[in-house]
Chains A and B, each alone.
Chain A
Amino acid sequence: MASNAVTLEGHSLVLPDPLPLDSGKTLAPVTLAYQTYGTLNDDKSNAVLLCHATSGDQFVASDNPITGKPGWWTEMVGPGKPIDTDRFFVICANVLGSCMGSTGPASPGPDGKPYGTSFPVITIRDMVRAQVKLLEALGIERLHAVVGGSMGGMQALSLAANWPDIAERVLVIAATATMPAQNIAFQEVGRQAIMADPDWQGGHYHGTGRQPDAGLAVARMTAHITYLSESSLTEKFGRRLQDRAAKTFGFDADFQVESYLRYQGSSFTSRFDANAYLYLTRAMSYFDLTEDHGRKLADVYMGSPARFCLVSFDSDWLYPTVESRRIAHALNAAGVPVSFVELSAPFGHDSFLLDVPELDRVVEGFL
């Protein structure tokens, strides 16, 4: 499992000051692990901040040192790709509360032991606040763009709402400005699965030799289903059996889809901290830009100097088109330049990570 003990390649910054949090608490020290791709130009005008999704990390376009697999957005980011690293200086930081080198519940607390559940509850805005501090440390005042999908899209929206002068372009893919009840519900199922695992031990499992792998795996299995679509599951697996000719009349993974989900669940536990999963999903459940600002969404963005682009996918039922369209209409009503498009792709919410040529075109054109 990933923890603070793992030494990761890439950059790391300890924020110079304690980080104030939305909860009223402050956090110190705060470390952000980040990767960069491309070269920052002389007037520092070509920086693109990429915000990753819940289970993502800073290894966007380079091999992930934990899994050994290629980065999560190699389709999109690289030389000559839509987010062209020959043009742009791409920065991606592991979010606050995660477990890939940035400060999170697996990091050592004031007493030297891992925080566990004594880590303060954080919000999407807290994650963004930490990244703004990182940009300051890098001497970057303006971003050519901020780009994110899913939880990354929420961070992009939060940056544009709370620090409107930083990003010139805001690209939000498959996200929402207000977490809907259905998503809160699924996130709660995931957290309950972790907390119901006896090995969770109230969140203080570090150093006990036991950790809630079974709970985290179930959480991941549930979430994974929500990232797909009925048609992609049917096409990929149907009712096909897993390496057997007939049903076993037992509770083995008879079906391919069961075997696939079990694999997704168990492989996740080798790279993700269960408590980090609790904190990140909590941050998403709390996300509501209108509530945070006490204003209508149109008023939140009134006078914003940025250009926006919102993208949704027709098969995404987790962050459906209506969520993106609502943001786009609010921006439009605020007189802010905005484009919105619903792309057709069969892969559900995960479409933004997969090969959708039309998405490449939109991203490249918008940037």
Chain B
Amino acid sequence: MTPAAPGSLRPDLAVIAEHVEPGSSVLDVGCGDGELLAALTAKRCNARGLEIDAANVAACVARGLSVMQGDADTDLSYYPDKSVDYAILSQTLQTTRRPDLIVENLLRIAPRGFVSFPNFAHWRVRAALAFGGRMPVTKLIPVAWYETPNIHHLTIADFRDLVAERGIRVERSWFFTNGRASRQRLANFTAEHAVFLISR
């Protein structure tokens, strides 16, 4: 993905920030250095974060944000049912030990959730594996297999299957290629990133 220009949000975060109503309460799981939280706070949202990396948490606190250091795989259980309007998981699903339980937890904590992830079925990734015969190192997956934090690679089709199986509704979806919105058709082949708005 194209790096965000200074002062502007990454496209997947921008679409999430745009579609959260002002004044909502939000939990951002895997909030990084607080880029999205800051944008949501600017929209008068009551936005809180969960982040595993201490330096990122320190950066968030330094920005005046409320962020807990913790692991999504273990710490989401501490959040009460229906305690926020939106639970957000951006670019984190593929790094968790049990992505299915994470998704269940998101919709336990909030009635609606945003989930964004890189699509491992993008044609460049397919081509790299099919013709290179090695785990792809691409713009989308820049880290070698032995170092990547991504332990559960998934595709747009995989995600659709998971939510269908769990009785979760996809309210909307957005796709991105080269940092720009891309079309819905053949998204599992052409999109680098996906954002889903889900609910039960």
Interface residues of A, Cβ cutoff 8 Å to B:
307, 309, 325, 328-329, 332-333, 335, 337-344, 358, 361-362, 364-366
Among B46, B54, B68, which residue has its beta carbon within 8 angstroms of that of A332?
A: B68
C-alpha gap A338/B69 in the complex (Å) = 11
Q: Assess the B63–A332 pair: CB atoms within 8 A.
A: no
Tell yes or no: B149 within 8 A of A by CB: no
A332 adjacent to B48 (CB under 8 Å): yes
**Set A340, A343, A344, A362: member contacting B62, Cβ < 8 A:** A362
Nearest-neighbour CB distance to chain B for A364, whole angstroms, equals 7
Residue of B with least CB distance to A326 = B78
* A339-B65 in contact (CB<8A): yes
Q: B57 near A339 (CB under 8 angstroms)?
A: yes
By the criterion CB–CB under 8 Å, are A337 and B62 in contact? no
The digit string for B52-80, where 1 denotes a CB below 8 A from any CB of A, is 00110111111111111110000100111
4 smallest beta-carbon distances between A and B, as pairs = A365-B62, A337-B66, A341-B57, A329-B78
Residues of A within 8 A of B79 (CB): 332-333
A336 nearest in chain B by CB position: B66
Given A332-B68, A332-B78, A332-B79: A364 in contact with B54 (beta carbons within 8 A): no
- CB pair B58 A362 closer than 8 Å: yes
Contact of B78 with A365 in the complex, beta carbons under 8 Å:
no
| Dominant secondary structure at the B interface | mixed
CB of B83 closer than 8 Å to a CB of A:
yes
Looking across the interface, which residue of chain B has its beta carbon closest to that of A338? B66
Q: A342 contacts which of B54, B59, B66, B67 (Cβ < 8 Å)?
A: B54
Judge whether B61 and A362 touch: CB under 8 Å. Answer: yes
**Cα-based distance from A338 to B48 in the complex (angstroms):** 8
Write 24 A-B pairs (CB below 8 A) sorted by A numbering.
Answer: A325-B70, A329-B75, A332-B48, A332-B78, A332-B79, A333-B78, A333-B80, A338-B66, A339-B57, A339-B61, A339-B66, A340-B69, A340-B70, A341-B58, A341-B61, A342-B69, A343-B58, A358-B54, A361-B58, A362-B62, A365-B61, A365-B62, A365-B63, A366-B61
Tell me which residues across on chain B come within 8 A of A365, comparing CB atoms: 58, 61-64
Closest beta carbon of chain A to B155's beta carbon, Å: 33
A358 & B68 in contact (Cβ 8 Å cutoff)? no
Best-surrounded residue of B61, B67, B70 (most CB of chain A within 10 A): B61
Taking CB atoms, residues of chain A closer than 8 Å to B54 are 341-344, 358
Give chain A nearest CB distance to B11 CB in angstroms: 27
Contacts of B64 in A (CB 8 A): 365-366
Of all chain A residues, which has the CB nearest B64? A365
Tell me, in angstroms, the Cα distance from A364 to B61 when the chains sit together. 9
With A328-B68, A339-B65, A341-B69 already in contact, the answer to whether A358 and B58 are too (CB < 8 A) is yes
A309, A364, A366 — most chain B CB neighbours (10 Å): A366
